[in-house]
Amino acid sequence: MTEKKKLTLELIKQLHKPELHCHLDGSLSVDSIMEMAEEQGVDLGFKSKEDLAKVVEVDIDCPSLVVYLNSFGVTLKVMQTPHSLTRSVYEVSEAAYRDGISYLELRFSPVLHLEKGMDLALVMESICEGVALVEKTFPIVVRIIVCGMRHMDPKVTESLAEICWRYHKKGVTGFDLAGPEDGFSSKHHRSAFHLVSRKMINLTLHAGEAYGWESIYDSIRYCGAHRIGHGVRLYENEELKNYVRDKEIPLECCVTSNFQTKAISAIEKHPIKQYFDYGILTVPCTDNVTVSKVKLSEEYFKIQELFGFEPEELIRMADYGFAKAFVDNTIRKRLRVDALYFALNLLKQNGFSLDKFFENHVYYERAGVNLALFKDPPIITPFSIDPPITLEIIQKLPKADLHCRLDGSVSIDTVWDEIQKDPNWFKLFKLEEIKSKEELIEKLQPERHTAKSFALAKKIMLSVCQTKEQIQRAVDNIYAEASKDNVQYLELMFRPLAHIHKMKAEEVMQIVLEESKKASEQYKIRTGIVVYVSIPEDDPISFFETAKLGIQYKNQGVMGFGSFGDDIPFENYKFYEKTFSLLKKHNMNVCILAGQKTPDSIVAALSEGGSSRVSGAFKMHEIPKLVSHLVNHNILVEVSPTDKLSVLTENISTFSGSPIELFVHSGLPVTLCSFRLTLDKQSRSQVIQRVVKENQFDIADLLRIVAIGFRNNFSSRDVQVQMHIDFWKFAQEFLPPLGFKQLRKFPWMPKKKN
C-alpha cells in the first residue's frame, strides 16, 4: 500500500483544532447578518444576500486593507443589541464546532457595540450568555478575548481592561490590542496592560501585521504579551526572533488574511513555514472567517498545499495552539490529549504512517500521549510497583542545576585551602580566626542555620573568592564537584560587586567567563552565567550597573540577570524601572526572588520585572489563581528543601505536607537547585533523594522534576529541546532494566471511535 503524504480537506475537518485568533464581528455569516437586519429593522442598503456578500466577503486578491475593513462597518450595524450579541457568539461558535474546532477564542471590542444605548456591562453580559449557551449545547470550549483599540484614547483602553478583568470568571480569558499599528504604539496603552497583568489576565496583541518588528517588540516589552497576533514582520529582527522562539511566545498566523490585507505581497511569501522550521510556535488561525472567506480547516489545507507541511507538522501546530490556549491547565491538558489521540487514530485508520510521531516521541509523550499504544502491535504496560529509588540510581541520572552560587558552592576542602594560604585572612575580612577544618565545618554547616550563622557563612565563602587565582580555583572546583553529581547543565550565578576587594567588576566578569568556559569543556558540562544583585546590599544604581555589565557580555556567555536577597514589592519597582527597562530592551532573561513575604511580589516580578523564572515563590499558594497563572504560562520556580523554605512555610495551614509536593502536584514547573550547596551537608543527589522520600515521589515524579531543568532554562530553545531528548533517551535505556516500568504518567483515555 502506498504511504499517504497529504491530508484531505475532509480529514482536516475531522481533526480537533484550536482557533486562537477569530474576530466575532468578522465571522458572522452572511445569512445571519441578513436575518438579524430584518429582525431589528436595520436597512443595510442591500437588496439580496448576494449583494451583501460582495461587501462583507473579500476575495483572495483583495486590493487593499481599506477594502478589507469595509466589511466590519456592515456587520457592526446588526450587533448593537443584547440578543444580537448572544446570537452572534452562539452561531459563530456553532459553525466553528461544525468545522472540527474544539477550542475557540472569540475576540471583540465592547466599545464598538454601544451605538444603541447598551453600556459595557450589558455588552459583556450578552456575550457571556452566548458562551454559556454554546457550551451547554455543543462539545466545544469557548472563551472571550476583549480588545482595546490602538487608535482610541488610552483611557478607553483602561476601561476595557477593567471590564475584561471584571468578567474573567464568566468566560473572558484574555485582553488584546487591535487597530492600526503605525503611529499607535502599544506603549501608549501601558496603564491598561499594567492593570490586567497585575490581575493575571492573559495577554495577546496584534503586532507585526501592518507595521515592522518594533510593534512586536513593544508588545512584549511594554505590555508583557503572552502571544502575538500575526507577527508577520518578526523576521526583520534576528535577536527578537530568537527571543520569541526561546521564550515560546506563539504567533497566531493568519495566512489568507495577511495576504488580503497586504501584510505580505504574495501568499506564498508568508513566513509561517520559515518560522515553524526555526522552532517558533506557529498556530494557524483564520482572523475573520466570513470576511476572509476561509474556514480553519481550509486554512490548514491551504498551508499544507502552499508550504509542504507534513501531516505530523500540521497536527503539531494544532497542538501548539492547544498548549498555549488561554484556558486553565486542567482543561488544556485534556484538550491536548483528546486532540492528539483522535488525530493518531484517524491517521492510522486512513493509512498514514506514524513514523514522524515516533521520531518526535519525547514531544508527544511530554504532551501526555502514550505512543506505545499506537505501535503494531500496541505495547501495553501493566501497572506494577516500582523498586525503591536508591541514591545510586539518582547519582547516575543526568542533572541540570539552574541556580548554583559562586559564593556558596566551593567545597569545604577548597575553602580551607584558601584560608591556609593567607595567615592574615581573618584580619583582612574582620573575621574570627578559624583554627581547624572541623571548626570551619561547624561555621558553614551548623545543625540548622539562623540568620546570623547564614550571614557569617556567606561572608566566609565570599572572602576566599576575591583574587583572580581564587576565583579561577573556585570555578574549577564548582564544576568538578558538579561533575561528580553527574550535572550536565549548570547555570552559575555570581554577583560581580561581591568580588571587588582587589578587582573591578568587569575584571571579575572576564575571569568567571573564561574559567567557566574552560571548566565546561574539561568536565563536559553545558553552562551559562547569570549575573545577579542582592537586596538590600545593592542599591538601584548598583542594579543598573550590574545589568549593563551583564548585557555587555550577553553574547559571550552571560545568559541572564537575577535579583535575589529579598522581595521587591510593587511600590518599589519604580526605583528599578530603568534597570528592568534596559533588560527588556536587550531581551535579557530575568530571574527574581519573590514570594518570601507576600504572594503579590510574585505578580510584581512577572508584570514589572519581566521575570520568566521565579526563585522561592514560598507564599504563592495563598492565591490559588496565582498558582494557576504560573502553571498556565509555564513559569519555572526554583526550589530546594533548605532551612529557609522550612522557616517560611512552617506556619502555613492552608495545606499539609511539603510545599514542594504542593508545587509538583499543582502541575507547576519546579526545578531543584543547589543554591549555596556548601552550606548544606548533602550533595545534589542526596538532596534529590531526600525530596523523593519526604514527598513519596515515584520514578515518574522524579523524572519529570529532573527533566524540567533541561527543558526550562536560559539556553536557546534548540539546545533545551536536544538536552531534554538526550535526558529521556538515557532514562528510557537506563531504568527499565532496573525494574522501572512507569516512567511517565499518562492520562486515562476512554475508548472512542473516530
Burial of 622 from C-beta contacts in 10 A (0-12 / 13-18 / 19+):
middle
Q: How many CB atoms lie within 10 A of CB 536?
A: 7
Question: Given this chain, do its domains 9-324 and 391-410+465-700 carry the same CATH topology?
Answer: yes
User: pLDDT, tens digit, for every residue of 124-169?
Assistant: 999 999 999 999 999 999 999 999 999 999 999 999 999 999 999 9
Percent share of the chain, pLDDT over 90:
85
Q: Which amino acid is at 470?
A: Q
Which residues are identified as catalytic?
209
Give the confidence band of 69 by pLDDT, cuts at 50, 70, 90: confident
Give residue 754's pLDDT.
Answer: 46
Residues paired with 593 in a beta bridge: 615
Give residue 565's pLDDT.
Answer: 94
Q: How remote is the C-alpha of 520 from its chain's centroid? A: 28
Prediction pTM value? 0.94
Give residue 642's pLDDT.
Answer: 65
Compute the chain's Rg from CA coordinates: 28
Give residue 591's pLDDT.
Answer: 98
Edge-first strand listing for the sheet containing 101-108: 17-23, 101-108, 141-149, 172-178, 202-207, 227-230, 251-253, 282-284
- pLDDT at position 707 over 90: yes
- Supply the CATH classification number for the domain 391-410+465-700: 3.20.20.140
Selected residue with higher pLDDT from 255 and 694: 255
Q: Which amino acid is at 669?
A: P
Indicate the length of the chain as a whole number.
754
Measured distance CA(266)–CA(126) in Å, rounded = 39
User: pLDDT, tens digit, for every residue of 274-305?
Assistant: 999 999 999 999 999 999 999 999 999 999 99
Q: Is-contact 143 171, C-beta < 8 A?
A: yes
- pLDDT at position 716 over 50: yes
503: left (phi over 0), alpha (psi -120 to 50) or beta: beta
- pLDDT at position 610 over 60: yes
Burial of 656 from C-beta contacts in 10 A (0-12 / 13-18 / 19+):
exposed
Give residue 447's pLDDT.
Answer: 87
Give the confidence band of 653 by pLDDT, cuts at 50, 70, 90: very low
Look at residues 236, 231, 266, 270 and name the one whose alpha carbon lies nearest to residue 250.
231
Alpha helices in 681-751 (DSSP H): 684-695, 699-711, 717-734
Q: Is-contact 618 594, C-beta < 8 A?
A: no
Measured distance CA(582)–CA(551) in Å, rounded = 9
Find cell 470550549 and name the residue.
141
Burial of 444 from C-beta contacts in 10 A (0-12 / 13-18 / 19+):
buried
Q: What does the domain layout of the chain look like in residue ranges?
A: 9-324, 391-410+465-700
Give residue 645's pLDDT.
Answer: 54
Q: How remote is the C-alpha of 110 from its chain's centroid? A: 28
- Determine which helix (DSSP H) or strand (DSSP E) holds 254, and give its type and residue range: none
What's the rounded mean pLDDT across residues 199-216? Answer: 95
Q: Is-contact 278 245, C-beta < 8 A?
A: yes
Give the confidence band of 174 by pLDDT, cuts at 50, 70, 90: very high
pLDDT mean across residues, the chain: 94
Measured distance CA(209)–CA(254) in Å, rounded = 10
Q: Is-contact 634 667, C-beta < 8 A?
A: no
- The three-state secondary structure class of 17 is strand
Measured distance CA(264)–CA(258) in Å, rounded = 6
Beta strand residue intervals within 565-708, DSSP E: 589-594, 613-616, 636-639, 670-672
Measured distance CA(353)–CA(357) in Å, rounded = 9
Q: How far is the CA of 607 from the CAs of 165, 309, 580, 610, in angstroms?
A: 15, 37, 11, 6
Give the confidence band of 712 by pLDDT, cuts at 50, 70, 90: very high
What's the rounded mean pLDDT across residues 561-572? Answer: 96
Cell numbers found for residue 220: 512584549
Q: Give the DSSP per-residue string, 398-431.
A: -EEEEEEEGGG-S-HHHHHHHHHH-TTHHHHTT-
Look at residues 637, 643, 703 and name the one whose alpha carbon lies nearest to residue 670.
637
Give the confidence band of 4 by pLDDT, cuts at 50, 70, 90: low
Give residue 533's pLDDT.
Answer: 98
What's the rounded mean pLDDT across residues 377-388? Answer: 88
Find cell 457571556 and name the residue.
128
Q: Give the DSSP per-residue string, 111-170.
A: GGG-TTS--HHHHHHHHHHHHHHHHHHSS-EEEEEEEEETTS-HHHHHHHHHHHHHTTTT
DSSP 8-state assignment for residue 385? P
User: pLDDT, tens digit, for every residue of 223-252?
Assistant: 999 999 999 999 999 999 999 999 999 999
What's the rounded mean pLDDT across residues 607-624? Answer: 92
Measured distance CA(227)–CA(177) in Å, rounded = 12
Residues paired with 591 in a beta bridge: 562, 613
- The three-state secondary structure class of 666 is coil
Find cell 459553525 and name the residue.
95
- pLDDT at position 646 over 60: no
What's the rounded mean pLDDT across residues 108-123? Answer: 97
| Inter-axis angle of helices 154-166 and 190-198, nearest 10 | 10
Measured distance CA(196)–CA(269) in Å, rounded = 36
Measured distance CA(597)–CA(152) in Å, rounded = 39
Q: Is-contact 671 648, C-beta < 8 A?
A: no
Measured distance CA(67)–CA(54) in Å, rounded = 11
Instruction: Provide, for the chain, the percentages of residues in helix, strand and coil under a 3-state DSSP scheme, each rounded to the nearest 5.
Output: 55, 15, 35
Q: Is-contact 325 105, C-beta < 8 A?
A: yes
Q: Is-contact 123 114, C-beta < 8 A?
A: yes
279: left (phi over 0), alpha (psi -120 to 50) or beta: left
- pLDDT at position 579 over 80: yes
- Supply the CATH classification number for the domain 9-324: 3.20.20.140
Measured distance CA(272)–CA(282) in Å, rounded = 7
Look at residues 724, 717, 707 and name the one whose alpha carbon lies nearest to residue 277.
717
Residues paired with 202 in a beta bridge: 174
DSSP 8-state assignment for residue 301? H
Give residue 511's pLDDT.
Answer: 98
Q: How many CB atoms lie within 10 A of CB 662?
A: 20
